Amino acid sequence: MDELLELAISIAKRAGALLQERPSQLSIDTKSSDIDIVTQMDRASEKLIVEEILSARPDDGIIGEEGADRPSKSGYTWVIDPIDGTVNYFYNMPGWSVSIAVKDQSGTVVGVVYAPTINSLFTAIRGGGAFENGEPLKCNNPIELNRALIATGFHYVESIRSQQIAQFNKLILNIRDYRRNGSAAVDICHVAAGVVDGYYEMGLKEWDLAAAELIAKEAGAIVSIHGELTIAAGAHLHGILSGQLLD
Ligand code: IPD
Ligand code: CA
Ligand code: CA
């Protein structure tokens, strides 16, 4: 597991360095809706990550947001979001990340979320705790709803956004405040780090969640998935958020 983590870190750092050489012209295509974009740099980052994985571990499987898909012969599969927060990247706003997880039959074994523009490298090994730039992480707990700083995000598809409006409105009068930072992976790592108290969002994909979920759990948070809805927070607030959002 240590070797897998070291490899995942070195690949995430290489992808982050590539992405920081941001071209002045970004070409975009759209995906699930007109506002869901992919740039040439999402594709270049995924290509670099896949090449590095396969040169070190040719029998591993891969699931990548931009289409990398390869069955595993070794029992290990890498789950990649080559840029989480493409909209931030497109606008040159800090906070986007590279998310890399490795899973086996029992779930995620290693998670790395690298956000170079905010100098954060979040890492975890299953059963081994969570870290930011080598420092151990612990989520905030117990936090009451009326003191909670909550991160969230909004889906690119209108039908899901409509449901998110109802959730957003339900909580806004009862919490300290919201933050919408632009990378779900970083938001969930920020729960791990106590930079926010909680997080929820609808419509996350496996590559948004895999690495950050392990990091948050290893920092003591509860991360639960209810259909399309993901909730992450320390145990006390997680119970309250679940009660409100699943009501
Ligand atoms: C998105 C980001 C965003 C979240 C969206 C995701 P992408 O990922 O994580 O914060 O609100 O739901 O799809 O498209 O930038 O990889
Ligand atoms: Ca994503
Ligand atoms: Ca992405």
All CATH 3.40.190.80 domain ranges of the chain, comma separated, are 145-246
Domain 2-136 class in CATH:
alpha beta
DSSP state of 196: S
- pLDDT value at position 14? 98
Full DSSP string of 45-98 = HHHHHHHHHHHH-TT-EEEETTS-EE--SSS-EEEEEEEE-HHHHHHT-TT-EE
| Residue 31 confidence (pLDDT) | 82
Q: Write phi, then psi, for 153 (nearest 5 degrees).
A: -150, 170
Contact 122, 192 (CB under 8 A): yes
For ligand 1, whether the C-beta of 197 sits within 6 Å is no
Secondary structure class of 182 (helix, strand, coil): coil
The pLDDT assigned to 234 comes to: 98
| Cβ contact 38:47 at 8 Å | no
CB-ligand 1 contact for 64 (6 Å cutoff): no
Residues 6+ apart with CB under 8 A from 83: 19, 39, 41, 42, 45, 89, 96, 97, 98
Closest to 225 (Cα-Cα) out of 210, 53, 237, 240:
210
Q: Say yes or no: CB of residue 190 within 6 Å of ligand 1.
A: no
Distances (CA, A) of 23 to 28, 48, 91: 12, 16, 12
Stretch(es) of the chain classified as CATH 3.30.540.10 = 2-136
Is there an atom of ligand 1 within 6 Å of 230 CB? Answer: no
Q: Ligand 3 centre and the CA of 87: distance in Å?
A: 9
Residues 83 and 101: their CA atoms lie apart, in Å, by 13
Fold of 145-246: D-Maltodextrin-Binding Protein; domain 2 (3.40.190)
* Peptide bond before residue 82 is cis, with ω within 30 degrees of 0: no
Tell me if the pTM is above 0.75. yes
**pLDDT tens, position by position, for the chain (247 residues)?**
999 999 999 999 999 999 999 998 898 888 888 888 889 999 999 999 999 999 999 999 999 999 999 999 999 999 999 999 999 999 999 999 999 999 999 999 999 999 999 999 999 999 999 999 999 999 999 999 999 999 999 998 999 999 999 999 999 999 999 999 999 999 999 999 999 999 999 999 999 999 999 999 999 999 999 999 999 999 999 999 999 999 8
Q: What local confidence, expressed as pLDDT, does residue 185 receive?
A: 98
Question: Helix, strand or coil for residue 174?
Answer: coil
* Separation of CA 158 and ligand 1 centre (Å): 14
